[in-house]
Chain A
Amino acid sequence: MAVIHVEFAGGVELLFDNVKKLTIPLECVGGDTASKENKILTIKDLLQRLRQSYLKQRPELFLQGDSIKPGILVVINDCDWELMGGPDYALAPGDTVVFISTLHGG
Chain B
Amino acid sequence: MPALCRRCSARAILKRPKTGDTLCKECFFEVFELEIHQTILDSKLFRPGLRVAIGASGGKDSTVLAHVMKVLNERYKYGIDLFLLSVDEGITGYRGRFPGNGQAERNSDLYGWSMDEIVKQIGLKNNCTFCGVFRRQALDRGAMQMDVNMILTGHNADDIAETVIMNLLRGDIARLTRCTAIITGAEGTLPRAKPLKYAYEKEIVMYAYFKKLDYFSTECIYSPNAYRGYARTFLKDLESIRPRCIIDILHSGENFAVKSSVKMAVQGLCSRCGFISSQEVCKACILLDGLNRGLPRLAVAGKIKKVNRVFAVSTSQRSVESASGDSGSPLTDDKQKPEAEVA
Contact = CB atoms under 8 A, between A and B. Distances in A.
Interface in B211-238: 215-220, 232, 236-237
Interface residues of A, number: 23
B1 to A, nearest CB: 9
B209 interface: yes
B218 A106 contact: no
A10 B14 contact: no
B60 interface: yes
Given A70-B240, A80-B13, A83-B12, A11 B2 contact: no
B219 A11 contact: yes
A83 B1 CA distance: 9
Contacts of B202: 73, 102
Nearest to B239: A70
Interface in A47-92: 69-71, 73, 75, 78-80, 82-84
Interface in B187-211: 201-202, 204-206, 209-210
Contacts of B158: 102
A103 B162 CA distance: 13
B163 interface: no
A100 interface: yes
B154 interface: yes
Given A70-B239, A105-B60, A106-B59, A11 B218 contact: yes
Contacts of B61: 106
B312 interface: no
Contacts of B114: none
B86 interface: no
Interface residues of B, number: 35
Contact of B209 (A11, A100, A103, A106): A100
Given A11-B218, A105-B59, A83 B205 contact: no
Contacts of B232: 103
Contacts of B239: 70-71
A9 B13 contact: no
Given A11-B218, A80-B206, A100-B209, A106 B154 contact: yes
Contacts of A79: 2, 11-14
A69 B60 CA distance: 19
30 contacts: A9-B209, A10-B205, A10-B217, A11-B217, A14-B219, A70-B236, A70-B240, A73-B205, A78-B13, A79-B2, A79-B12, A80-B12, A82-B15, A83-B2, A83-B14, A100-B205, A101-B217, A102-B158, A102-B201, A103-B236, A104-B218, A105-B57, A105-B59, A105-B60, A105-B216, A105-B218, A105-B220, A106-B60, A106-B61, A106-B159
Interface of A: 9-11, 14, 69-71, 73, 75, 78-80, 82-84, 98, 100-106
Interface of B: 2-3, 11-15, 22, 57-62, 154, 158-159, 201-202, 204-206, 209-210, 215-220, 232, 236-237, 239-240
Given A102-B201, A102-B202, A106-B60, 9 more contacts: A10-B60, A71-B239, A100-B205, A102-B158, A103-B232, A104-B59, A105-B57, A105-B60, A105-B215
